Every structure is written in structure tokens, then in C-alpha cells.
């Protein structure tokens, strides 16, 4: 009787707390994103003498907040189902959130654990196993698989950035142009949150930003939401300092690109000038922001590190279990390529059948390294080229570009 009473008491208190914050999406921290844009604009003005019109800055702030407006409240997160066979550690992610994760610098959710069914046994034979020596000895023992490599995710982030910038440079409304730029900065900003991405700190005597590297992209199906908030709120360390530094430089590049595109009177002229300046910005991202070693790029994307995974002792699902040690959750390999492409197509098709405004497409793991192609100085890879539709919509102020869900570019 005592145990049951304790269970109901804890459950009731937990419900009351969650209900109080249910409408506030407490696991998200919009102030951090707002600060990064405001501080980045101020740094750009002090270092380069380039200032933004107030309407543009307002648009950038609106845009940097927008990706969090479609995310669920804390209460909704608690009500998310967990995947069968995952022992309560893997959260099911909605279709809209799957599409949105790359806009937060995060990979797709991992595949649910394979069962002993004939279909799963056949699919398991197509997987690519990770070298067990690479896995942490104290990882949580759940064998999840990734649909994508870190390289595929980085390619996706570059495609997102290209699309936002193409529309942003050419949009006839300065505030809406700023909004698209802000959407991109939210994506970049989340890669500097310790609850989204594990990075090495900047190196060198002065800790110069642009030397830090990405080591691990976390997937939101395996993250501890309780740790998400304090990590996203952090503004006192090198992560936020480097985010502001990069935001300042990207604003400088944006001002140049916006000026050049607006000076062109024809769609063809805006297309040519926008593409040239999009390419400059993407090269900056590759060189200074999305830096990853080759070995990291080839690893499965997703999971979460010690202290940030749903198997950590700090996780908010452990109501009565008491303290437990922190453990990482690491993908043990990649699904077969055909299964990954089937997952991508299925998400896109289901969103379309529902009539959702949400757009989703994802590059194949077989796509080459877009950063390498950009650094080679050759022709801009097709997936990173502005489309005539995007430039036309921007010039006309079409409603299609008034949200972050710009129609997705078809990808091979």
C-alpha cells in the first residue's frame, strides 16, 4: 500500500508540473536564438561597419524563432509513445518533427530495433555494422540503426541553407528576406547546443572560432528532454561565443549578397547573383561551421552522448526508478541503402497524403560530399543550385516562402 501511495503521489505531482508548462513548450529556449541574432548583428556593425535596417533585424529575429514554433510542448513530449522492444528509451517522432529535425541541425530518428520477424531478419542482413571498437563500453544496450551517415546529414544542412539563402537574397520584402536568413541561423545555432551536437572546442592560443569540429549529431528520438533546456540556454561558453562570431560573418555575407541580388532587375540576373553569393556563404559554412573529420562523416548519424541521452540518469522519464548512471545510446550500424530510401520516400508520401504544408526530402547516402565539391571550385553541385521557382516566388512575394516550409527540392 505504501508503494502504491508513493507512486500515485509522484505521478500526480509530475502531472501538475507538466500541465503548468504544457502550453509553453518548456523544452525549447527561444531567447538563446534571439540573442544570437541580436549579438551577431551588433558584432557585424562593430567589426565591419555594416548595420541592418530595423525591419530586417525584426525579420531575422522572427525567422530564428520560427522553427521552434512547430515543436511540441513538454506535456506532448511526455505523451509520445516509445518504440516496441526499445525498453522505454526510444521516443516515436511525428512526421512533422521528422521533417523538421534537419532544420534543428539534427538527423532523422534512428530505425526501431529489428525484431525476429522474417522481414526484419532479411532487412538485418543488408545492414552495415559499425566496428564494435568504436562504441563506448558503457553504452546502453539497445541496437538501433541509422538511416543516414553524418555526411548525408551535412549535405542536407547545406541544401537547407542554400534554399533559405536563395529565397532570402531575392525576396522583394526586406523583412521576409531577413526571416529566411533567420531560419538558417536557427539551424546553425542548434549545432552549437550541447543537447544537439557534440563538438570539440576551438583550438589555438586564442581559441579562435572556426577551428571547432563536430563529433556527433544527436537524434531527437534518443535525447533526454530534461537536459535539452539547460544546454540550449547556455550563453556563457565558447559555443555561444562562436555562434555569435559566425552569425556576424554570415550577416556580413548576407548584406553583400542581398545588395547584389536586389541590384539585378531580371529574374535571370537575380538568379545568377544570388547563386554566386549563396556559394560564398556555403563555402564559409563548410570551412568554419560544419567541420567534420572524414571518419566522423562516415559514421551513422543519431543517438545521444552520455548526459544527453534518454538512458542518462538525468532523463525525465525516470519518475520512480531512482538514480542511475549516465549512458550513451549509439547506433550500432546503418540500415541497408534501399531501406533508408524507402524510409525517406514513405515520410514524404505520408505528409503529402495528409495534405500537410510540411515539405520533406533527404539526400541519399550515395551523394558525394558537397563541401568537397564546393572547395574544389568547380561548378556548383546541382542540389545546391537556386531554382527558378524559388527566385520567382521570392520576387513575387509568394505565400510559399512565408513559412520555413519552402517546397523541397527533388533529390536523387
The sign one gets for the Cα dihedral 361, 300, 92, 112 is: positive
Strand pairing class (333-334; 128-129): antiparallel
User: Could you tell me the three cell numbers for 6?
Assistant: 508513493
pLDDT at 18: 33
pLDDT at 325: 80
User: What percent of the chain lies above the pLDDT cut of 90?
Assistant: 66
Q: Is the pLDDT of residue 317 over 70?
A: no
Integer angstrom CA distances of residue 43 from 240, 251, 253, 344: 13, 10, 13, 40
Is residue 316 pLDDT above 60, yes or no? Answer: no
pLDDT beyond 90 at 128? yes
Number of C-beta neighbours around residue 161 at 10 A: 25
Q: C-alpha distances in angstroms, 257 versus 171, 261, 313? A: 12, 6, 47
Q: What is the pTM of this model?
A: 0.90
Mind listing the pLDDT tens digit for each residue in 156-178?
Answer: 999 999 999 999 999 999 999 99
Measured CA to CA, the distance from residue 172 to residue 167 in angstroms comes to 10
Average pLDDT over residues 203-216: 89
Q: How far is Cα 108 from Cα 360, in angstroms, rounded to an integer?
A: 11
User: Could you identify the residue written with the cell 534512428?
Assistant: 110
Give the confidence band of 140 by pLDDT, cuts at 50, 70, 90: very high
Lowest mean pLDDT among 112-116, 134-138, 241-245, 311-315: 311-315
* Residue 321 neighbours by CB distance under 10 Å: 10
pLDDT digits (tens, 9 = 90+) for 62-75: 999 988 876 655 55
HEC letters along 102-158: HHHCCCCCCECCCCCCHHHHHHHCCCEECCHHHCCCCCCCCCCEECCEHHHHHHHHH
Is pLDDT larger for residue 316 or for residue 309? Answer: 309
Beta strands 197-200 and 128-129 are: unpaired
Select from 311, 97, 114 the least CA-distant residue to 223.
311
All cell numbers assigned to 234: 547556455
Could you tell me whether strands 128-129 and 213-217 are parallel, antiparallel, or unpaired per DSSP bridges?
unpaired
Q: What is the pLDDT of residue 228?
A: 75
561548378: which residue's cell? 379
Task: Give the cell for residue 392.
Answer: 520567382
pLDDT band at 81 (very low <50, low <70, confident <90, very high): confident
Amino acid at each position: 500500500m505504501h508503494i502504491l501511495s508513493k507512486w500515485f503521489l509522484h505521478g500526480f505531482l509530475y502531472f501538475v508540473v507538466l500541465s503548468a508548462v504544457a502550453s509553453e513548450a518548456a523544452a525549447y529556449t527561444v531567447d538563446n536564438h534571439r540573442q544570437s541574432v541580436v549579438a551577431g548583428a551588433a558584432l557585424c556593425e562593430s567589426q565591419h561597419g555594416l548595420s541592418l535596417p530595423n525591419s530586417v533585424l525584426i525579420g531575422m529575429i522572427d525567422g530564428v524563432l520560427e522553427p521552434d514554433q512547430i515543436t511540441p510542448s513538454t506535456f506532448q513530449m511526455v505523451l509520445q509513445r516509445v518504440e516496441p522492444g526499445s525498453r522505454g528509451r526510444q521516443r516515436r517522432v511525428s512526421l512533422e518533427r521528422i521533417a523538421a529535425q534537419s532544420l534543428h541541425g539534427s538527423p532523422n530518428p534512428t530505425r526501431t530495433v529489428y525484431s525476429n520477424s522474417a522481414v526484419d531478419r532479411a532487412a538485418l542482413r543488408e545492414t552495415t555494422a559499425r566496428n564494435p571498437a568504436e562504441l563506448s563500453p558503457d553504452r546502453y544496450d539497445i541496437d538501433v540503426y541509422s538511416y543516414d551517415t553524418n555526411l548525408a546529414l551535412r549535405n542536407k544542412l547545406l541544401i537547407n541553407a542554400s534554399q533559405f539563402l536563395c529565397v532570402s537574397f531575392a525576396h522583394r520584402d526586406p523583412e521576409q528576406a531577413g526571416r529566411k536568413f533567420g531560419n538558417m541561423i536557427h539551424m546553425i545555432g542548434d549545432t552549437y547546443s550541447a543537447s544537439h551536437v557534440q563538438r570539440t572546442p576551438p583550438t589555438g592560443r586564442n581559441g579562435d572560432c572556426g577551428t571547432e569540429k563536430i563529433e556527433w549529431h544527436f537524434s531527437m528520438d534518443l535525447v533526454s528532454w530534461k537536459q535539452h533546456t539547460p544546454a540550449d540556454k547556455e550563453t556563457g561558453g565558447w559555443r555561444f561565443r562562436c555562434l555569435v562570431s559566425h552569425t556576424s560573418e554570415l550577416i556580413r555575407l548576407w548584406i553583400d549578397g542581398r545588395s547584389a541580388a536586389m541590384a539585378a532587375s531580371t529574374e535571370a540576373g537575380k538568379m545568377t547573383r544570388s547563386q554566386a553569393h549563396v556559394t560564398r556563404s556555403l563555402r564559409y559554412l563548410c570551412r568554419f561551421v560544419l567541420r567534420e573529420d572524414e571518419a566522423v562523416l562516415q559514421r551513422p548519424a543519431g543517438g545521444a552522448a552520455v548526459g544527453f541521452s534518454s538512458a542518462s540518469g538525468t532523463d525525465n522519464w525516470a519518475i520512480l526508478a531512482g538514480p542511475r548512471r549516465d549512458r550513451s545510446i549509439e547506433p550500432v550500424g546503418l540500415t541497408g541503402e534501399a531501406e533508408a530510401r524507402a524510409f525517406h520516400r514513405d515520410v514524404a508520401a505520408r505528409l503529402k497524403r495528409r495534405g500537410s504544408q510540411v515539405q520533406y526530402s533527404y539526400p541519399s547516402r550515395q551523394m558525394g560530399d558537397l563541401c568537397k565539391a564546393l572547395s574544389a571550385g568547380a561548378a556548383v553541385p546541382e542540389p545546391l543550385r537556386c531554382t527558378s521557382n524559388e527566385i520567382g516566388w521570392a520576387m513575387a512575394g509568394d505565400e510559399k516562402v512565408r513559412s520555413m516550409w519552402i517546397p523541397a527540392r527533388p533529390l536523387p
